[in-house]
A and B are shown apart, each in its own frame.
Chain A
Amino acid sequence: MVTGKRPLRKIGFALLVLSIVLFCIFPFVQMLSLSLKYQWDWGNPSLIPSRLNFDAYKELLNIGQSLKNVPESIINLLDESPDLTPAQRSAILAKYQDTGDVFPFLKYFGNSLVLSLSAALFSVILAVFGAYSFSRLRYRGRAVVQRGVLMVYMFGGILLLIPLYKVFVSIGLLSTPTGTFIGLLVIYMVQTLPVSLYMLGNYFRTIPFSIEEAAMIEGASRFGTIWRIIIPLSISAIATVYIYSFMIAWNEYLFASVFLKSYKDLYTLPIGLKTLFVSKNAIWDRIMAASMLTALPVMALFMTIQKNLTGGMAAGGVKE
């Protein structure tokens, strides 16, 4: 099409590409723009802020917040009395710092991070062995296992949520913060496990068996070959699957919203953001800044594994 000589066609094609790109990235651009605007600037349809405002980011990342909400007179008083010890100073400041109003973004970020990193880790460890089993070993029932794993494509979160909630409440898992955390961890792990199994299984099949065979003739055990041959050879695929699992857990809202309802300290970013939006309406700059910061890790990870992941996705290894 573009190779054609007619310039009009060329321009039309360029416009088409441009509009597709705009459609895709416009919400992100708007998010960035709004997060940097002052409130009086929100109604301005231009995407370029009239004046840059970094307050939202500073507040979320807890930069320079120590003097916020402290009355001017107190600050002056502190400046004028140099004989106060640092302990006394911070005691006075602590009185005025309004911590109840601050959105604990960093805490939620940390919760999300710990939960997603560990769920993805367990999922990948189990998947390496499982995928090796059904891509390399022959046994009765293998086909059933492989197909059964794919069945998971049909089950939406809501179908599993009610029974799992009932079970977890019955065995008392949700009555302690630790139990709740573990429960959520296990659920995230099992949600990503089928996809990890499928993607790794497909990858292992592309590794020639002769390499393993040679190692086994030399006396290596099955576990030895997995550890020394399969894992090093498929490290990029394993990293891809790990990051994919991480992203699924990082984005999850449904289970977290039900399980963590009464544990504010364990909130992950998605519920944290939702509560922030509901509780303090129309604070677009902070909402958008939080959105940006939530999206960034995922976007960065995605860009690093993009080539491998898109190959895996096109081969059918995804679940939503």
Chain B
Amino acid sequence: MKDEQILDYLKAGNYTKAGEKLYGYFPVVQKLVLKNNGSKQDAEDIYQEALIILIRKIQSPGFILSSSLNTYIYSVCRFLWNDQLKKKNKSIETDIETTLFVLKAEEIENDTTENENKLAEKAFNELGEKCKQLLQLFYFNKISLKEIATKLGFNSEKVAKNQKYRCLEKAKENLKTLKSFSHE
């Protein structure tokens, strides 16, 4: 019942409401990460990453959740964290408590496109505050340029539009730089 409600929120794009409910699943993930050489920040990052994967799944057609939401999120988090540890030649300690309700690895596809997008997110986050606000409002919140112009204090819709291109431009440049670094 609760799971369905959360899924509905996510489907409807009401992430705030969903986040409020989803907070309850976080402590167990945090415990997992803290126990395995991670910090609280790592736990938060992993948790958010897992939720993004979940959201992408929900958005794809024909998605059915085969386990409880809690199990799914926990498993993805475990998978992701293990992945990170592998890079450092470590792995998650196995204990009964955590193995009991974890999905098998093959049930979780590691979405590589999401990794590219992560880089794009980083490129976006490197922008100035005003750019971020502008792009976010336009592309994510789907607010009209006219409204954005008033909200962010641009002289006109046209100025906002030009500024938008400039910001996009900058984000792309950031992304190019990031990519060239990650290939090296």
Q: Do A and B come from one complex?
A: no
Chain A interface residues (CB < 8 Å from chain B):
none
